[in-house]
Amino acid sequence: MKVVKFGGSSLASGNQIEKVFQIVISDPDRKVVVVSAPGKRFPEDQKVTDLLIECAERCLSNQNSQEIAASVIKRYSTIAEELQLPSKIISEIQADLEARLNGDRSNPERFIDRIKASGEDNHAKLVAAFFEEQGVEASYVNPGEAGLLVSAEPGNAQVLPESYERLHSLRERSGLLIFPGFFGFSKEGEVFTFSRSGSDITGSILANGLKADLYENFTDVDAVYSVNPYIVKRPKEIKELTYREMRELSYAGFTVLHDEALVPAFRAGIPVQIKNTNNPAAPGTRIVYERDNTNGPVIGIASDQGFCSIYVSKYLMNREIGFGRKLLSILEEFGLSYEHTPSGIDDISIILRENQFEAEMEQEITGRIVAELHADEVKFEHSLALIMVVGEGMRHNVGTMARASKALARASVNIEMINQGSSEVSMMFGVKEVDEKRAVQALYEEFFAAVTV
């Protein structure tokens, strides 16, 4: 039995949904279909989720939201017309959205979550209606009624462990089950969404709960590539990689799969297959627990911008008990999360995402660190890019770090910092943002020029 999830671009128009229908009915093992909200039809288009967020924010600021709401309904109406569906489904979607917009606004974050979730929820109803019109037994499934329980964290909900047992009973239902992604219900019956692009997470949760044999994630690319195709032309496709490798690559900029999506599937040992809605015959990329390391030390190279570092130096830091804890406690008080902490005996660098900072924070944090930890030097460095070189094979190959460093030196890229995880599945290089593309291209040439992945 397979759980299959389709992304927003795969469901953006009537034509795309017809492709989805053919894919689903071509394999009788596909039992549960997880649906995203309609995505972009063309580059300048807007995603329905973005329209819904704008609509909710206008409501909260007492601005006119009718035009945006009408745009949302128009998107569904256009799809329904393309699929020649009865007008009843659009009336149902319009009534649902209006009810949500007229609902309780006393908690703005929860209000936005209820509006955002309507994108997937209503699209699942539309997709189910189309499947039924084609003579296929299919039904929309409400996540709350199915038992998908999540924590009460707006925009960052986490699945509750008891959900898996509740969801298992879906196996007993007949026909295809059309399930909206991106959200669940708290124990109090409130709607809460996962982090953005969270429909991937829903698919993984359902695969775990239903004990599926495979979780298929359909998107708009043939496979996961070994490097960003916008940086390197025609990069090699990855046929197979491990959960850990995909997790590292997703974190560092690979947008094919949400970086939290693998956790439920990983815990249940369920393989994940990345496929292309527009080219379903392509084999895609398989994500597994273990694989044979036959491709060399590196499976992929990912990069992401928007980082900064806080460099802290203090003589004899290594002898001071609790220094690291105190330093991270200061950041915690400012509501900051960190990414990496490369360190030496007398210094430490804290890598953070720059978008967490407000203008006055830098000076306040510097003052706190100097005053409370008596640091000799505190220095912020902005506009950094992190490059992750990932591969299970690095544990069994000598000299991978040396090869990477030499490749960057040949490309005249200065390394601002280096950090290697204890698992030896990845190593991180910090470089200036202006050097990012050149650095990635140099690393790709070093590790993939003569390698078949």
Question: Digits of tens for pLDDT over the chain (453 positions)?
Answer: 999 999 999 999 999 999 999 999 999 999 999 999 999 999 999 999 999 999 999 999 999 999 999 999 999 999 999 999 999 999 999 999 999 999 999 999 999 999 999 999 999 999 999 999 999 999 999 999 999 999 999 999 999 999 999 999 999 999 999 999 999 999 999 999 999 888 999 999 999 999 999 999 999 889 999 999 899 998 999 999 999 898 888 877 777 777 788 889 999 999 999 999 999 999 999 999 888 766 678 999 999 999 999 999 999 999 999 999 999 999 999 999 998 888 889 999 999 999 998 878 999 999 999 999 999 999 999 999 999 999 988 877 788 999 999 999 999 999 998 887 666 788 999 999 999 999 999 999 999 985 444
- Give the integer Cα–Cα distance in Å for 351 and 98: 44
Residue 59 near residue 106, CB atoms below 8 Å: no
Written as six digits, the tokens of 222 are 């043939």
Q: Which residues are annotated as a binding site for ATP?
A: 5-8, 219-220, 225
3-state secondary structure of 442: helix
Tell me, what's the pLDDT at 204? Answer: 96
Listed in sequence order, the residues at least 6 apart from 366 whose beta carbon sits closer than 8 Å to its beta carbon are 378, 380
Where is 224: in which H helix or E strand?
strand 224-225
3-state secondary structure of 418: strand
Q: What is the DSSP letter of 235?
A: P
Tell me, what's the pLDDT at 452? Answer: 43
| 246-396-236 Cα angle (round to 5) | 45
Q: Got the DSSP string for 385-409?
A: EEEEEE-GGGGG-TTHHHHHHHHHH
Residue 136 Cα distances to 35, 302, 411, angstroms: 17, 42, 57
- pLDDT tens, 234-251? 899 999 999 989 888 887
Q: Enumerate the β-bridge partners of residue 270.
A: none
Tell me, what's the pLDDT at 294? Answer: 66
Written as six digits, the tokens of 41 are 């039809």
Residue 171 near residue 146, CB atoms below 8 Å: no
Give the burial class of 219: count Cβ atoms within 10 A of its Cβ; 0-12 exposed, 13-18 middle, 19 or more buried: buried
For the chain, the C-alpha Rg in angstroms (whole number) is: 24
- Give the integer Cα–Cα distance in Å for 418 and 136: 55
- Give the integer Cα–Cα distance in Å for 17 and 7: 11
Tell me, what's the pLDDT at 419? Answer: 83
Looking up tokens 């600021």, which residue turns up? 61
- Give the integer Cα–Cα distance in Å for 381 and 414: 14
What is the pTM for the complete model shown?
Answer: 0.86
Written as six digits, the tokens of 304 are 């992401």
- pLDDT tens, 196-249? 888 999 999 999 999 999 999 999 889 999 999 899 998 999 999 999 898 888
Domains detected in the chain: 6-210 (3.40.1160.10), 300-448 (3.30.2130.10)
Q: Which residues are annotated as a binding site for substrate?
A: 49, 120
- Give the integer Cα–Cα distance in Å for 336 and 338: 7
Q: What is the DSSP letter of 227?
A: S
- Give the integer Cα–Cα distance in Å for 170 and 160: 17
Q: Which residues are annotated as a binding site?
A: 5-8, 49, 120, 219-220, 225
Beta strands in 237-322 (DSSP E): 237-238, 240-242, 272-276, 285-288, 300-313
Tell me, what's the pLDDT at 11? Answer: 97
The pairing of strands 347-353 and 272-276 is unpaired
